[in-house]
């Protein structure tokens, strides 16, 4: 049975700032909240940063976690959240009622953070690590390169929507896809523990909009398994909400 959990992260606390700048640290903290170790189930997560100001301070940051079993996230609350606040504790809810509403033809508001990439065997300027991968004996696939322009990122998303089980309707007045870009980021962080010089580099885009379910089974898989690469680093969690609550799906 899937569960959706939420924790409010305090961006003014040192641990909260670490989670915001280092997805590797966030991922490790989330996985440590599961009884079975190593964690064998698919765990998706996303940080939603609201940069609006309230009384001179940044608003809380929402951490969503989707998992097959309920996690214990109190350590994240204690280290990076709002312990003692009425709204501070982690909240975990059964995700099945939402999945039951996913039927062909249904429309929802959505939010997702994705890492659009393209695979190529002929990169223009491969890094040393990419060159080593391309030279591996028997390797048939290319290396992944990020889409960096907004146009390519949106094309990547729209061209894959149907295989993920949904379509993005077009606006009646302009004919444009009914979605908006919330945030675009270029992030880099250490791949391993402190002192590891290897870096992970991601180009991400957060999108909100309206979708229509065209293949219920594929849509359910997309919701539970995530879409696109970099799922361990906070990408791929697609959340839905009634259209009336479009401002903040999830």
Q: Do 156 and 234 have their domain in common? A: yes
Convert the pLDDT of each residue in 43-100 to its tens digit.
Answer: 999 998 765 555 555 678 999 999 999 999 999 999 999 999 988 899 999 999 999 9
| CATH number of the domain encompassing residue 64 | 3.30.70
| CATH number of the domain encompassing residue 164 | 3.30.70.1210
> How many domains are contained in the chain?
2
Q: Is residue 233 within 8 Å of residue 200, measured between CB atoms?
A: yes
Convert the pLDDT of each residue in 134-182 to its tens digit.
Answer: 546 655 566 667 777 899 999 999 999 999 999 999 998 888 999 999 9
Q: Give residue 211's domain range.
A: 107-245
Q: Do 127 and 216 have their domain in common? A: yes
Question: What are the C-alpha distances in Å from 202 to residues 36, 154, 164, 167, 248?
Answer: 29, 16, 22, 26, 24
Q: Do 113 and 81 have their domain in common? A: no
Of the candidates 35, 65, 94, which is a domain's last residue?
94
Long-range contacts from 138-144, C-beta under 8 angstroms, 24+ separation: 143/119, 144/117, 144/118, 144/119, 144/229
Q: Do 211 and 88 have their domain in common? A: no
Q: Do 32 and 74 have their domain in common? A: yes
Q: Do 126 and 189 have their domain in common? A: yes
Domain membership of residue 102 (yes or no) is no
Q: Which carries the bigger pLDDT value, residue 234 or residue 201? A: 234
Q: Can you give the pTM of this predicted structure?
A: 0.85
Mean pLDDT (the chain, rounded): 86
Number of H helices, E strands in the chain: 7, 13
Q: Do 69 and 115 have their domain in common? A: no
Q: Do 44 and 22 have their domain in common? A: yes
């Amino acid at each position: 049975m899937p569960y959706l959990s939420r924790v409010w992260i305090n961006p003014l606390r040192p641990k909260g700032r670490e989670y915001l700048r280092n997805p590797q640290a966030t991922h490790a903290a989330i996985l440590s909240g599961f009884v079975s170790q190593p964690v064998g189930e698919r765990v998706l997560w996303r940080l939603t940063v609201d940069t609006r100001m309230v009384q001179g301070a940044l608003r809380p940051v929402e951490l969503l976690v989707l998992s097959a079993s309920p996690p214990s996230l109190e350590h994240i609350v204690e280290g990076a959240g709002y312990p003692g606040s009425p709204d501070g504790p982690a909240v975990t809810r059964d995700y099945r009622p939402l999945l039951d509403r996913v039927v062909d033809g249904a429309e929802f508001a959505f939010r997702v953070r994705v890492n659009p990439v393209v695979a190529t065997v002929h990169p223009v300027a491969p890094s040393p690590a990419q060159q080593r991968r391309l030279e591996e004996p028997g390797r048939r696939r290319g290396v992944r390169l990020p889409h960096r322009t907004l146009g390519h990122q949106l094309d990547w998303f729209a061209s894959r929507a149907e295989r993920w089980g949904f379509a993005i309707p077009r606006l009646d007045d302009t004919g444009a896809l009914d979605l908006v870009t919330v945030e675009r980021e270029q992030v880099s962080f250490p791949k391993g523990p402190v002192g590891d010089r290897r870096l992970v580099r991601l180009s991400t885009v957060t999108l909100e909009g309206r979708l229509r379910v065209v293949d219920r089974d594929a849509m359910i898989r997309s919701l539970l398994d995530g879409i696109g690469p970099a799922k361990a680093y906070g990408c791929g969690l697609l959340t839905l909400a009634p259209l009336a609550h479009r401002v903040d799906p999830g």
